[in-house]
Structure 1
Amino acid sequence: MSREQISAIAHADHPIKSPLADDSVTRLLAHGLPRGDERVLDLGCGTAEWLLRALKARPHLHAEGVDTSEVSLTQAREAATDLGVGGRLTLHHQKAADLTPTHPFDLVISVGATHAFGGLLPTLAAAREHLAPGGRVLIGESFWDRTPSPTAVEMFGDLADLATTVDHVVADGWTPVHGHVSTRAELDTYEWACWGSLASWALDHPTDPAAAQALETANAQRSQWLHGYRDSFGFLCLVLRRTSELS
């Protein structure tokens, strides 16, 4: 079973691939899309869940997404058709970092995908290339809420704490106009949903050749979470505007 297949099963009950409740997603989109007729780009869109929710709630919105997974993009196209928003969604099958700016966007989204650009600030630099004057960026990034264990650092790298993460963003020329720190309930719900969905699939398909691998992965990931990073991992979403708009 490929990593892509595992991810698809794990997120069956939590299509937003980040530790965010549905109402948190709705609020973040509301702050990122104050008019409702914006043009939106998601860098690393996956199944385009952020874009689909924005399009469904805003009939004058137009959106584009880019991702390397054709499987995810196919799922996104099918979902867009089912929702009746396919005519307002354009999807690009390529690396997000390689997307050539063609026209400006009022909102650029990158939640949980900063690894595709090499980190938080490189992701913001990429978003800036696509951003219209007065536009906004909705970005999601991990941070250390408490001192991490060596195992947690090995898994996620040398993250900053919350205050330092925001300081880095501000020093890079951005002003937060809204933010959300995932709650303990959101963080726990996400982990239980992912590894519970994967384990359930394995138990529901005992004769599938991939069942044993899926169950082993679910058990290992759940253990890594509980023993390795549950007490230290945090997740932050920011809606940003360029500070230079003042000049």
Structure 2
Amino acid sequence: MTTPPHRTRLTFHGPLSQTRADALVQRLTRHRPTTVLDIGCGSGELMLRVLAAAPEATGTGIDLDTDDLARGRKAAADRGLASRARFVEESATGTTHGPADLVLCVGSSQALGDRLPDALRELRRLVTDHGRVLLGEGFWERTPTPDELSRMWPDAAATDHPDLATLIGMTVDAGFRPEWTETASLDEWEEFESGYLADTEVWLAEHPDHPLAAETRERVDRHRARWLTYRGVLGLAYLTLVPVAAR
């Protein structure tokens, strides 16, 4: 039975443009990391780009999605990086992988703790004293209304995310200084969310009577309605964090 394709048009599993990715890789490899740890790596695209730019580095990606990990391993092999990139199927909670010179945690802080302050303290544990952390974390561009929250994800609450100033303050409290602060643009969000659904939308148009069409249509319509609700309300910050030296 033909099944709907999914996510084949996405390079990154998040609102991240090629231009921003290139700038991030340049910045994150400036201090010549030799070890990279990617928390919730997915297919590890950003980690692989870092490894390509830092030929002395090895990387470990941790995730629970076996399909994403398989794609990461294939991508590493295709780029000649298989000997320097490991993809591990396990939970990041209490991970023993680390400390690393560079820790990537993009949209995955929940893998390190239910509360953001706990996750940030874990990131400080996982990075070497002279390393860097790239934190990709959600924040509210503005406080959502009760009506907007009711149309987002299940049980969405205003307390799910801080504002940007509070988020950066939390990283400082956890033992970091923010070297660089940038946020995903609306164009990046739209490219990501459109790319996330595009293959399935085309499949639905071509297979309106398929046995899986009704279920798939409901899921896609629900996802689209949610992201159009949080469009311009939910932001994503990319924070390059420097650990404060221990006294």
Q: Which has the higher helix share?
A: 1
Could you list the per-position Cα deviations for residues 181-237 of structure 1 after superposition, in whole angstroms to 9, with x for gaps in the alignment? 1111112222222122321233345575434322322222112222x2113111101
Check if 1:106 corresponds to 2:106.
no
In structure 2, the CA distance between the partners of 1:170 and 1:85, relative to structure 1 (3 Å rule), is: same
1:115 to 96, 110, 113: 110
Check if 1:144 corresponds to 2:140.
yes
Gapped regions of structure 2 (runs ≥ 5)? none
Partner residue of 1:199?
A: 201
1:130 to 126, 148, 152: 126
Check if 1:163 corresponds to 2:165.
yes
The answer (yes or no) to whether the contact 1:38–1:60 under 8 Å persists in 2 is: yes
**Deviation, structure 1 residue 175:** 0.3
Check if 1:95 corresponds to 2:91.
yes
Check if 1:175 corresponds to 2:177.
yes
Check if 1:241 corresponds to 2:236.
no
Residues in 2 aligned to 1:98 and 1:151: alpha-carbon distance in whole angstroms = 37
- Corresponding letter in the other structure for 2:219: T
**Deviation, structure 1 residue 41:** 0.2
Could you list the per-position Cα deviations for residues 148-201 of structure 1 after superposition, in whole angstroms to 9, with x for gaps in the alignment? 122544535411111111112112221000121111111222222212232123
1:60 to 56, 61, 64: 56
The answer (yes or no) to whether the contact 2:129–2:244 under 8 Å persists in 1 is: no
Check if 1:24 corresponds to 2:20.
yes
SS in 2 for 1:196: helix
Gapped regions of structure 1 (runs ≥ 5)? none
The answer (yes or no) to whether the contact 2:76–2:85 under 8 Å persists in 1 is: yes
Q: How does 1:207-218 map to 2 (within 5 A)?
A: 209-218=211-220
**Deviation, structure 1 residue 29:** 2.3
Residues in 2 aligned to 1:190 and 1:242: alpha-carbon distance in whole angstroms = 30
Check if 1:221 corresponds to 2:187.
no
The answer (yes or no) to whether the contact 2:42–2:63 under 8 Å persists in 1 is: yes
- Corresponding letter in the other structure for 2:25: L
The answer (yes or no) to whether the contact 2:29–2:53 under 8 Å persists in 1 is: no
The TM-score with structure 2 as length reference comes to 0.86
In structure 2, the CA distance between the partners of 1:204 and 1:75, relative to structure 1 (3 Å rule), is: farther
The TM-score with structure 1 as length reference comes to 0.86
- Corresponding letter in the other structure for 2:78: D
Residues in 1 aligned to 2:187 and 2:208: alpha-carbon distance in whole angstroms = 31
Q: Aligned residue pairs: how many?
A: 238
Q: Which moved more, 1:70-79 or 1:151-160?
A: 151-160
CA root-mean-square deviation: 2.3
Question: How many percent of aligned residue pairs carry the same amino acid?
Answer: 30
